[in-house]
Amino acid sequence: EQAKKIMGNNFIGPSELKKISFKLNITDPYVRKIPSIPFADNILKKIARDYILILGLPSVKDGTKLTINNMRLFFGFDPAEKDPCFYNQDWYLREKFAKDVFLKFKWYLIKKTVVKSSRGKNPEEIEKGLPSDRSFPPAVLTAFTFFSYYLLNGEILWRNDFMWCSDKDENGDRIYVGRYIDPKKINKNGFNIHRHLSIRPCYGLAPQII
């Protein structure tokens, strides 16, 4: 109750998740003992406006793991049929981070916006400068937070921005997500999941002579 009072709308706990359980396709959080919040009140007070405190859930209603693929199966990828939804892409369906990775039943803190000083920098450079108590979030956490927050507050997180994740695909390329709305209005609405192609020896120049 104290954390909820501090965080306001940026608090997504068991009561909030139960409220949207039908729309989120999740089980009742109260079927388990709710874990204690590991973050001190003074820390929460400092970041209450900029971060979301959310209780992660490991499974969906049918008992299977709450993975990106399961969320995509439920929300779909056509905004004309269901909004919010995922962006229409399927390259990641067989990737481990999408089909196997799921959240633990614990509390997470994730920032609502992209850090301004990180814009335009490659993830390796950003990672080197991260404090010991900060890290890239897993993609499944960003998706779960996005849909939960949207359903509760009607607000689109990372509306026009992409954000780096801790996951990599089978080739070692970094995953980035977000940008629900294309500011250029070229692509349809949807929660995007992409990979940042790393430069490898197979990339090179075959020049022409002019």
Residue 185 confidence (pLDDT): 86
Residue 114 confidence (pLDDT): 94
Q: Tens digit of pLDDT per residue, the chain (210 long)?
A: 999 999 999 999 999 999 999 999 998 999 889 999 999 999 999 999 999 999 999 999 999 999 999 999 999 999 999 999 999 999 999 999 999 999 999 999 999 999 999 999 999 999 998 999 999 999 999 999 999 999 999 999 999 999 999 999 999 999 999 999 988 888 899 999 999 988 778 888 787 799
Residue 61 confidence (pLDDT): 92
Residue 202 confidence (pLDDT): 82
Which DSSP category does 113 fall into? S
Residue 204 confidence (pLDDT): 81
Residue 119 confidence (pLDDT): 92
Which DSSP category does 119 fall into? T
Residue 201 confidence (pLDDT): 86
Residue 35 confidence (pLDDT): 96
Angle of helix 68-75 relative to helix 139-153, nearest 10 degrees, comes to 40
Q: What is the pTM of this model?
A: 0.94
Q: Which two tokens stand for residue 88?
A: 């229409």
Please tell me the chain's helix, strand, coil percentages from 3-state DSSP, rounded to the nearest 5.
30, 15, 50
Separation in Å, CA 151 to CA 120, 154, 163, 183: 30, 6, 21, 22
Residue 205 confidence (pLDDT): 79
Residue 198 confidence (pLDDT): 84
